[in-house]
Structure 1
Amino acid sequence: MKLRLLMTCCFLPLVAVIYSQTIPQEIYDNLNKSASVYYAYPQVDEQYTPAPAGYTPFYISHYGRHGSRYLIADTDYLSVMQVLEKAAAIGFLSEKGQDVYRRLQLVWKDAQGLGGQLTPLGYKQHREIAGRMFHNFPEVFEGNKNISARSTVVIRCALSMTAFCETLKGLNPKLQITYGSGDRYMNYLNYWNEDARNFTSDESSWRESYRKFRKEHICPERLMKLLFTNQAYVEQHINAEELMIGLYWIASDMQNVDLGISFYDIFEGKELFDIWQVFNYSHYVCNGTCPWGKEIVQRTFIPLLENILESAEDAIKDRSAAATLRFGHDGNVMPLTGLLHLEGCYAEETNPEDFYRVWSDFKIVPMAANVQLIFFSKKGSDDILVKFMLNEKEVKVPLESDVVPYYHWADVEKFYRNYIARLLL
């Protein structure tokens, strides 16, 4: 046992080192990953571990983020375009700046009036995830079984739910699906208590460190010289940091639309990596497992974990339930993955320069991110097994099991019930 513990202690730091070394290179190799929560859902090509002999799937518990969308508001496009438009009117845009402005006009033509709405890719992602779920676990969806589908009140989540469920219904018209989207469900789908709202607010004490980090990592001088011919004008009339961030978000979101337009040519790889670090910092502290506020954030998501546990117990007792499907946002999936202790999602770090070494938002919550718990039973046995998947990839949890990546539900439920009790102390 001592040898095993020693090997584990030596292995974990090695994993952390390897993880941290690969993140910058991952972004340099695929600039789309610098998009933070705007990273489009990656291609899925998984080979799953077969279930232990005799076990078949009977129920799926799911929480999914909405699919790819436009920037959150039309003003996110207009605020950038207006800066370039004013500079163009007085002849202060460089040749590259004029080219960027022309591209922005094409982007705006596609996005106008659709801020925060799903793009066509967003619908496609959920149709494909649902299709893979059906084909990977066909036993779950046999006959006229019931599906409970709930979404937050935000339309992009409700439409994601609809695309997902219509796909399942198309594959088996006998499925009985009940839909819901309203305040009744918000207390577990997207609830933030007062402590969590205070901790994540701009007035929270950790924000001073964050603002300093942001200032050190966002360096717009080179970009301003690339886009504008008069730097005195830039200094007097343009918030260079905000313009760079605005362009970064537009560049990030191009992977979520089908325009064939890119803005990565105006950024350097190191600039994108540094900007990504800024937002990864914020997401890790507000939604992840940074020790500064881990328990504050996780307490507010206890109702979601309790809903998962209670829905599973109901499904185990009443085998007419095929799935419980929930649809929300990145700010819900991130805390849930930490609360569940999913592999790669619950590391703790207090040095901002090292946040990216232990936690990466693009790995956890791309557009259409999802957590799936797949439940298995065996004829003639009361033993229930569960497998965890994050973005359709098998992941481990920190529990002993003789059938990893499958876990005995009795052990899993006990672990989460005990963890909830500790959070509430």
Structure 2
Amino acid sequence: MNLRIRTLAIMLATFSLGAHAQTTFEEISADLNKAGGVYLAYPSVEAKQTPAPKGYKPFYVSHYGRHGSRYLISDKDYQWVIQLMHKADSADALTPLGKDVLNRLNLVWAEVDGHGGDLTPLGVRQHQGIAERMYNNYPEVFRGKRHISARSTLVNRCAMSMVAFGDRLKALNPQLDFNYEMSQKYMSYLCYHSPKSNVFTNNEKGPWAEEYRKFEEAHTNPDRLVSSIFSNTVFVRCVVNPREFIWGMYWIAVGMQDIETRVSFYDIFTAKELFDLWQCVNYRFYMGNANPLASNGLVMANAKSLVENIIESADNAIKDRSTAATLRFGHDGNIIPLLALLQVDNFDVSIEPSAGIYKHWCDFKAAPMASNIQFVFFENKGGDVLVKIMHNEKEVHIPVKTDIWPYYHWDAVKDYYQKRLATLPS
């Protein structure tokens, strides 16, 4: 390749990464569900699988998946908004739109009551679908009486995601031997956050907290929405905290895509209001889970033990061919640093908030509901092992040399990450 062609290739690659990272107001406006950030329901999978090089067959899959779609973390996240709206209704302080919103909230409560933090039926279906596509894409892996290790964090929605995933594989091949585990023993890599990183990521006392507070204050503008819902200014002045109300309605609105009740609250927002609120959420997730410049790799390093487990499990599966898959189930706060540590596409970008985080990093692209990373291993008759890495079932790039992308030589991948792990803070 001559210099001119090589330079063009580098420019095209850089442009591709920039286009991947860039998120715009127009993109959010075209699909308001994306304003939910990590509440985005798992997107449809349309990417095609690149055939393996001639002579290579799949034999093992290593996986880490976020739990599927869930209800808001607590019943209180719905209750306080609904109670406030009922109080306003009793005081004759709701506009016609406010009364309509209250009716919709009552419909929502009929479904969500008692389910705070639980996996939703959609979350079950998401993991069933991912499992079925994995089975159909790599049938050689799941033939016969092969063993599958499945482990989740101690959170119920993760365990239920694990069971939904595993039960679908078991239905497709009843001979598969499953070992389901939800244990404190595995939390050191399934959901690890170092004490030092917890100091940095604290959104009240962390070194970035005051800058973020000013950012959120500038991007939270509730007056228009509040005046469209409440008709009595005295009631608003004495009872309603406008900033808390717009945030409460935001979380309910963006969470509707993850539940079964088919009503929407997007009509009470402008697209700009949703975009601004999403920017705040995206800011917090970047600073708390990705690779912010000020962290010096400390946050990203939370995934070190997980990468070590991926390497160790893969080497064991290469030696002992009884294992078909290693399945792990956790949270967005585990997927995001894993993407950064692995340097998948542009998810390891390291910037200051002043650069405009949403222009460089995006939470709903990193970790929507049921987001997952898959390492799929292939081997030829000569014993050469290749690996392909997928993020949300799409083939991705990592900074390891290869002439057969999306396939990489496992020895080169393992060597690269072991050296990278050695450079990261503890």
Q: Which residue type is aligned with residue 334 of structure 1?
A: I
Alignment equivalent of 1:284, drawn from 262, 283, 286: 286
| Distance (Å, rounded) in 2 between the aligned partners of 1:139 and 1:80 | 51
After superposition, residues 232-247 of structure 1 pair within 5 angstroms as: 232-247=234-249
Alpha-carbon distance in structure 2 between the residues aligned to 1:349 and 1:324: 34
Correspondent of 1:307 among 303, 306, 309: 309
Residue 319 of structure 2 corresponds to residue 317 of structure 1: yes
Q: Is the 8 A contact 2:22 2:360 kept in 1?
A: no
Provide the residue aligned with 1:204 in structure 2.
206
- Inter-partner Cα distance in structure 2 for 1:89 and 1:243: 18
Q: Structure 2 vs 1, CA of residues 20 and 406 (structure 1 numbering), >3 Å: closer, same or farther?
A: closer
- What residue identity is the alignment partner of 1:318? D
Q: Identify the range of structure 1 (1-10 vs 300-309) with the bigger mean alpha-carbon deviation.
A: 1-10
Structure 1 unaligned regions, length at least 5: none
Quote the residue 1:364 is aligned against.
366
- Distance, in Å, in 2 between the alignment partners of 1:22 and 1:129 is 26
Which position in structure 1 is the counterpart of 2:37?
A: 36
| Partners of 1:75 and 1:351 in 2: CA distance | 31
TM-score (norm 1): 0.96
Aligned to 1:397: 398
2:387 equivalent in structure 1: 386
Q: Which residue of the partner structure matches residue 90 of structure 1?
A: 91
* CA distance in 1 between partners of 2:10 and 2:408 (Å): 23
Q: What does residue 272 of structure 1 align with?
A: 274
8 Å contact from structure 1 (residues 281, 352) kept in 2: no
Tell me how large the CA RMSD over aligned residues is.
Answer: 1.6
**1:295 shift after superposition:** 1.3
User: C-alpha separation between the residues in 2 aligned to 1:158 and 1:329?
Assistant: 11
Opposite residue 249 of structure 2, the aligned amino acid is: L
Query: 1:101 matched to which residue of 2?
Result: 102
The residue number in structure 2 matching 1:127 is 128
Q: Distance in 2 between matches of 1:12 and 1:55?
A: 28
SS class of match (2:59):
strand
Aligned-pair CA distance for 1:230: 2.2
**Which position in structure 2 is the counterpart of 1:333?**
335
Deviation at 1:5, TM superposition (A): 6.5
Query: Deviation above 6 Å: which 4+ runs of structure 1?
Result: none
Q: Distance in 2 between matches of 1:330 and 1:253?
A: 15
Unaligned runs of 5+ in 2: none
Distance 1:20 1:179 in 2: 36
Report 1:73-222 matches (<5 A): 73-201=74-202, 202-222=204-224
- 1:37-56 → structure 2 map (5 Å cutoff): 37-56=38-57
Q: For residues 302-336 of structure 1, give each alpha carbon's deviation from its aligned partner in whole angstroms, at most 9, with x where no partner exists.
A: 11110001001101111111000000111111111
Q: Residues 356 and 12 (structure 1 numbering): CA distance in 2 closer, same or farther, change over 3 Å?
A: farther
| Aligned AA (1:41) | Y
Distance in 2 between residues matched to 1:17 and 1:420, nearest whole Å = 26
User: Number of paired residues?
Assistant: 424
Q: Is the 8 A contact 1:16 1:358 kept in 2?
A: no
Q: Is the 8 A contact 1:55 1:376 kept in 2?
A: yes
Alignment-mate amino acid for residue 209 of structure 1: E
| Letter in structure 2 aligned against 1:306 | E
| Larger mean Cα displacement after TM superposition, 258-267 or 349-358 | 349-358
Task: Tell me the SS of whatever aligns to 2:388.
Answer: strand
Distance 1:49 1:12 in 2: 19
SS of the residue corresponding to residue 82 of structure 2 reads helix
* 1:19 and 1:357 in contact (8 A); partners too: no
Query: How far apart in 1 are the matches of 2:323 and 2:112?
Result: 40
Cα deviations by residue, 1:206-230 (Å, 9 ceiling, x for unpaired): 0101111101111101101110112
Alpha carbons 1:220, 1:244 under 8 Å: kept: yes
CA distance in 2, matches of 1:19, 1:158: 32
CA distance in 2, matches of 1:36, 1:8: 32
Give aligned-pair identity as a percent. 47
